[in-house]
Amino acid sequence: MQRGAAGFLARALIFCSLVLSGCSAEARPNEDQGGVGVTTTQKAILEDKALAADIRVINVSGGATNYVFAVEIESPDTGCDQYADWWEVLNEKGELLYRRILLHSHVDEQPFTRSGGPVVVGASDVLIVRVHLHPAGYGGVAFKGSVEQGFREYVLNPDFADEVEMLDPQPDGCAF
């Protein structure tokens, strides 16, 4: 839990520094802070979600329309009662393109990396990669970008493509 508290504190400090530096809670891009279309409102929403799994790093290998994504995740896993149960790739419209099911919790392995694919996309397609935490759902740090340009941290609106949560594939239990 120390790791989760540290991540939450770091995000809270970023939010406070934005507010103190003159940014309002309006939907203003925060591109000067390294975000891609991140607004102070979206940052505030993220701060309110204490239990969330975060994407930390994305590496992509492979070739055109046949990419393998290696996604590093940090999550507040406690066992099968609370764990990162999948990561997924969506297009900008929120359509599910790929979902990598995680078969067990990673209590003693944080952060952890899991690969998946093939992900059938073009090199310049703009994608969103996010992680799902059982039972809390979405809400942590996602990444947005393309294979060609790379991926950067991106805070999603809390209702972005929430309907895909019920789509297959779904986890078939938790091993441990």
pLDDT, tens digit, for every residue of 32-77?
A: 333 445 455 445 444 545 689 999 999 999 998 899 999 999 999 9
- The DSSP result for the chain, as a single string, is -HHHHHHHHHHHHHHHHHHHTT--SSS-B-GGGT-SS-BHHHHHHHHH--S--EEEEEEEEEETTEEEEEEEEE----BTTBEEEEEEEEETT--EEEEEE--S--TTS-SEEEEEEEE---TT--EEEEEEEETTBS-S-EEEEETTTEEEEEPPPTTTTGGGGGSSP-------
Task: Find out whether the peptide bond into 111 is cis, omega within 30 degrees of 0.
Answer: yes
pLDDT over 70 (residue 126): yes
Task: Say whether pLDDT at 127 is over 50.
Answer: yes
pTM (2 d.p.): 0.74
Residue 136: what are its φ and ψ, rounded to 5°? -75, -30
Q: Which CATH architecture has domain 2-158?
A: Sandwich (2.60)
Give the per-residue pLDDT at 22.
Answer: 36
What's the pLDDT tens digit per position in 131-175? Answer: 999 999 999 999 999 999 999 999 999 899 999 999 999 999 999
pLDDT for 50: 61
